[in-house]
A = this chain, B = another copy of it.
Amino acid sequence: LREAIRSERLRPGTRLPSSRTLAVDLGIARNTVADAYGQLVAEGWLASRSGSGTWVAERTTPVQVPATPAGQGVGRFRYDLRPGTPNLAAFPRSAWLTAARRVLSTSSYDVLGYSDPRGLLPLRTALADYLSRARGVAVAPDGIVVCAGFTQGLELLCEVLRGRGAACLAVEAYGQDLSQRIAEAKGLATMTLPVDAGGAAVDQLGDTEAVLLTPAHQFPLGVPLDPLRRRHIVEWASHTGALIVEDDYDGEFRYDRRPVGALQALAPEQVVYAGTASKSLAPGLRLGWLVLPTHLVEEVAAAKARLGRLSSSLDQLVLAELIASGAYDRHVRRSRLTYRWRRDRLTATLRRDVPEVRVTGIDAGLHALVELPDGDSEDDIVARAATHGLALDGLSRYRLGQQPHSPALVLGYATPPDHAYTTALARLAAVLTSQPQASEVERIGPHVGTPSDERVLPW
Chain A residues packing against B (C-beta within 8 Å)? 2, 6, 35-36, 38-45, 47, 57-61, 63-70, 72, 74, 84-85, 88-89, 91, 93-94, 96-97, 100-101, 104-105, 109-118, 132-133, 136, 138-140, 142-143, 148-149, 151-152, 155, 178, 181-182, 185, 224, 227, 230-231, 234-235, 238-239, 257-258, 260-263, 265-270, 282-287, 292-294, 297-298, 301-302, 305-315, 417
Q: Do A109 and B85 form a contact, CB below 8 Å, given A44-B265, A69-B118, A182-B307?
A: no
B267 touches A136 (CB 8 A): no
B286 touches A312 (CB 8 A): yes
Query: By the criterion CB–CB under 8 Å, are A302 and B60 in contact?
Result: no
| Cβ contact of A257, chosen from B38, B85, B105, cutoff 8 A | B38
List, sorted by A's number, 27 A–B pairs whose CB atoms are closer than 8 Å. Answer: A6-B138, A35-B257, A38-B257, A39-B257, A42-B136, A42-B227, A43-B132, A43-B230, A45-B266, A47-B227, A57-B231, A61-B234, A63-B265, A63-B266, A66-B268, A69-B294, A72-B116, A72-B117, A72-B298, A88-B109, A148-B310, A178-B308, A282-B313, A284-B312, A285-B313, A286-B310, A286-B313
Query: What residue in chain B is nearest A258 (Cβ atoms)?
Result: B39
Cross-chain contact A44 with B112 (CB below 8 angstroms): no
Alpha-carbon distance between A224 and B155 when the two chains are bound, in angstroms: 38
**Closest approach, in angstroms, between the C-beta of A309 and any C-beta of chain B?**
7
A61 touches B238 (CB 8 A): yes
Known contacts A68-B142, A69-B118, A136-B43; A314/B284 CB under 8 A = yes
Q: Which residue on B lies nearest to A150, using beta carbons?
A: B308
Closest Cβ of chain B: how far from A59's Cβ, in Å?
Answer: 7
Instruction: Choose among A38, A93, A239, A257 the residue with the greatest number of B CB atoms under 10 Å from its CB.
Output: A93
Tell me which of B224, B265, B308 contacts A6 (CB under 8 A).
Answer: B265
A394 to chain B, nearest CB (A): 19
Are A142 and B65 touching (Cβ within 8 A)? yes
Q: Smallest distance from the beta carbon of A129 to chain B beta carbons, Å?
A: 9
Closest to A142 in B: B68
Q: Which of B38, B43, B66, B239 contacts A60 (CB 8 A)?
A: B239
CB-based contact A181/B35 at 8 Å: no
B contact residues around A270 at 8 Å (CB)? 61
- Within the assembled complex, what's the spacing in Å between the Cα atoms of A315 and B316? 11
A60 pairs with B235, CB closer than 8 A: yes
Indicate if the CB atoms of A84 and B44 lie closer than 8 Å.
no
Q: Which residues does chain B contribute within 8 Å of A59, judged by CB atoms?
A: 234, 266-267
User: In the complex, what distance in Å separates the CA atom of A83 from the CA atom of B262?
Assistant: 44
Query: Which interface residue of A94, A136, A293 has the most chain B CB atoms within 10 A?
Result: A136
The residues of B that contact A224 with a CB separation of less than 8 Å are: 42
> Hey, which chain B residues are within 8 Å of A301, CB to CB?
69, 72
Q: Is the CB of B269 within 8 A of A308?
A: no
Nearest B residue (CB) for A6: B138
Q: Please give the distance in Å from A31's CB to the nearest CB on chain B.
A: 10
The residue that A35 contacts in the complex, of B84, B93, B258, B285, with Cβ under 8 A, is: B258
In the bound assembly, the distance between CA atoms of A431 and B47 in angstroms comes to: 45
Write the nearest CB–CB distance from A108 to chain B, whole angstroms: 9
Is B109 a contact of A417 with CB atoms below 8 Å?
A: yes
Known A42-B260, A313-B282, A315-B312; judge A114-B84 contact (CB<8 A).
yes
The residues of B that contact A60 with a CB separation of less than 8 Å are 234-235, 238-239
- Beta-carbon contact of B74 and A297 below 8 Å: no
Name the 5 nearest CB pairs between A and B, nearest first: A284-B313, A151-B308, A112-B282, A66-B143, A66-B294
